[in-house]
Amino acid sequence: MSYLFTSESVSEGHPDKISDQISDAIIDHFLAFDPNSKVACETLVTTGQVVLAGEVKSNTYLDVQKIARDVINRIGYTKSEYMFDGSSCGVLSAIHEQSPDINQGVDRSDPEEQGAGDQGMMFGYATNETDNYIPLGLDLSHRLLRELAVLRRENDQIKYLRPDSKAQVTIQYGDDHTPEKINTIVVSTQHDDFADEAAMLRKIKKDIIEILIPRVKAQLPPSLQQLFTDDIIYHINPTGKFVIGGPHGDTGLTGRKIIVDTYGGKGAHGGGAFSGKDPSKVDRSAAYATRHIAKNLVAAGVANEVLVQVSYAIGVAKPMGLFVNTYGTSKVSLSDGEIAKRVEALFDMRPFAIENRLKLRNPIYEETAAYGHMGRESEVVTKTFFSPDKASITLDVELFTWEKLDQVAAIKQAFGLS
- Residues 259 and 256: their CA atoms lie apart, in Å, by 9
Beta strand 179-191 with 161-173 is antiparallel
- Residues 352 and 289: their CA atoms lie apart, in Å, by 12
**Which residues lie below 8 Å from residue 170, measured CB to CB, with a gap of 6+?**
4, 5, 6, 137, 182, 183, 184, 185
- Residues 65 and 67: their CA atoms lie apart, in Å, by 5
Is residue 55 a known part of a binding site? yes
Is residue 277 a known part of a binding site? yes
Answer left, alpha or beta for residue 133, where phi above 0 means left and psi between -120 and 50 means alpha: left
Is residue 415 a known part of a binding site? no
Answer for the pair 41, 281: CB distance below 8 angstroms, yes or no.
no
**Which residues lie below 8 Å from residue 393, measured CB to CB, with a gap of 6+?**
32, 33, 384, 385
Is residue 273 a known part of a binding site? yes
Q: In 3D, which of 4, 8, 5 has the Cα closest to residue 256?
A: 8
Is residue 250 a known part of a binding site? yes
Rg over alpha carbons for the chain, rounded to the nearest Å, is 22
Q: Using CA atoms in the order 255, 258, 262, 268, what is the torsion angle rounded to 10 degrees? A: 140
Is residue 261 a known part of a binding site? no
3-state secondary structure 367-407: HHHCCCCCCCCCEEEEEEEECCCCCEEEEEEEECHHHCCCC
Beta strand 233-236 with 179-191 is parallel
Is residue 338 a known part of a binding site? no
Answer for the pair 150, 388: CB distance below 8 angstroms, yes or no.
no
H and E: helices and strands count for the chain: 13, 13
Q: Which helix (H) or strand (E) holds 250?
A: none
Is residue 231 a known part of a binding site? no
The total number of residues written for the chain in this structure: 418
Is residue 242 a known part of a binding site? yes
Is residue 159 a known part of a binding site? no
Answer for the pair 220, 130: CB distance below 8 angstroms, yes or no.
no
Is residue 38 a known part of a binding site? no
Is residue 241 a known part of a binding site? yes
- Residues 270 and 375: their CA atoms lie apart, in Å, by 19
- Annotated binding-site members for L-methionine: 55, 98, 250, 281
- Annotated binding-site members for K(+): 42
- Annotated binding-site members for ATP: 14, 164-166, 241-242, 250, 256-257, 273, 277
- Annotated binding-site members: 14, 16, 42, 55, 98, 164-166, 241-242, 250, 256-257, 273, 277, 281
- Annotated binding-site members for Mg(2+): 16
